[in-house]
Chain A
Amino acid sequence: MSSIFHQTVLTALISGGIVAGVPLMLTAIGETISERAGVLNLGLEGMMLVGAYVGFIGAYYGHSSWLGFALGAIGGMLACSFMIVLCVWLGLDQIVVGIAITLAGEGITSVLQQAQFGTSYPRLGAMGEVHIPLLHRIPVVGPAVFEQHLLVYLGVVLVFVLVWVFRHTNVGLNLRAAGEKPEALDAAGVSVTGTRSYAVLCTGALAGIGGAYLSIIGAGVFTPFMTQGQGYMAIVICMLARGRPAWVLVASFLFGICLSITTALQLAGINISTDLVNMLPFIAIMVALVLFGRRSYLPPALAIPYVRGAR
């Protein structure tokens, strides 16, 4: 059993946690933005898949991970534009539209994958890793943390930028007001529709990038339904983090470890049924919800369409 603490196993565990945690983090950060603004985005799963597919296409034909991420963001934004028009502008039910986007995202990406590649699943090579000088030589942590794609570090920076935005800027204040009490924001002369629209657009972009990371870096391949519920996991993470980006970071990493534990266990030579291991993240979610669910905080105006002057 001591082999579990072997250096390579730990490195693989941390590294895998990061690789699996980053898409969760990006998506959950996106969800945090839109939930703070009062829009519950159940379409994350679909947006991630669209991002994953479009991003993969970009990286595959453009031979650039950055092109892939850019296209992934655009794909995510396209997918969430339905949410903006239907829910934010027209006031339809956010839950229904969110589920519709998820289902549509799953279907469309599967069909496109089939049409494009048939039954073959082309792979991408490794790309875009940066070795941070000196730090990557630290044993165990070094290779795990400091030999990742640049996007990982940008994502972490984004988290802290967002902390600042929420705390110290007008934009952040407007976002919070839109979720806490939209009529107050409206009375203060700021468009609730506008605020919520750009919040959802950010969510779409981030979920798209999250998905693209999953296909380009995480797996190196696009397979239909490859998100496997990670969009919903992101919603749970966002809820447990009570809208605070720094907690999203921590929680995403922990769930990432749960997701990547298979590889680490294989390296350690421990033989547990993969089916059991694959259940781990979902068990972790249920445990987390049971333990901390009561502490979760949702903005009062979440999932309630705003109509001026309505009672």
Chain B
Amino acid sequence: MKMATGIRDRVAIVGMGCSKFGERWSDNAEDLMLEAFSEALADAGIEKAQIEAAWLGVCLEENNVGKTSGPLAQGLRLPNIAVSRVENACATGTEALRGAVYAVASGAYDIALALGVEKLKDTGYGGLPGRTRGTVTDLWQPNGSAPGAFAQLASAYRSKYGIGAEDLKRAMAHVSVKSHDNATRNPKAHLRNRISIEDVLKAPMIADPLGLYDCCGVSDGAACAIVTTPEIARSLGKQDIITVKALQLAVSNGEEAQFHSWDGASIKTAQIASARAYAEARIKDPCKSIDLFEVHDCFSITELVLMENLGFSEPGRAPFDILDGRYDRTGAIPCQIDGGLKCFGHPIGASGLRMVYEVYLQVLGRAGERQLPKADLGMTQNLGGHPHQNVCAISIIGRLGA
């Protein structure tokens, strides 16, 4: 029996698109979907009719498009092809990509579409909408906000590593200042203003120690990818073939929440999924191989702990590496070069694909003002849920042969 060897270089991305993210008051979800899809279709250089199957990622469907894959089929007038709707909380975008990539890898389809969309700004208030955590869970679990859930990381991190509240907050502030700087070079980003460390420190408190500038924006937006085999990509005339090197997903089974082994200061699933992804992509040392990465910076503290959990900083060293500028645009391994969730924005279903979009642009040298000098291999990390109970999706994307 042949052992599975993973997805490395078996599927190519031939076209990507991403709408402008932001408060798209005048647009419906189908406007956002069409905006991203038109860009991707033109980029791929194919006809819509060549797409054989599609995956739609939407998370909070009750607040926007409703259930089923219908909104994608109708919005793009897809010719009665197979369309599936997937949802995995804030990791929904990567989930849609997994569906399309695996479909092509399986040989069932030649060309598939993954599209993530979220029309979030119809709730009437800022932040993510409050919602049930499940009929039984609601009986006992505190239904806190996302910032409240992620703020837990900060208190546990401080306790574990003995770092003072002010020192940690300063490193967190650097995370946000860096992302705002990066987003000024990204015309599609939701927030394109520069901010200072002082701005972050003085901002109103949302969930201690997370202030307003420690939290990402909530946006409307869509992003999509058209995937096929490297052979078909070549036949379409692509010179630079961008392939998927790894796609990994790790889901909490309740151990962090219930068992006594988790430190509360890390994302355990990110450690597991990234280790698997490096193996799948045959990367020995991510610090040496990865040219840029996009992480799920829903909050500054999330990005901070992920630097350690993904293997880029040693345990307890992330605040220092961050303050040293290691992950800045001009640092050793730029992180959130497009502004990240923090500033590009976070239309939930689209975010995972938006991350891949940035890596794709960078590797192809099409990132404009923010183009990095060297970008052969990039990584995305997309997180759904809360630190103690989540799904973590990772992709590694790069040049064929890299």
A-B interaction: no
A residues apposed to B, CB below 8 Å: none
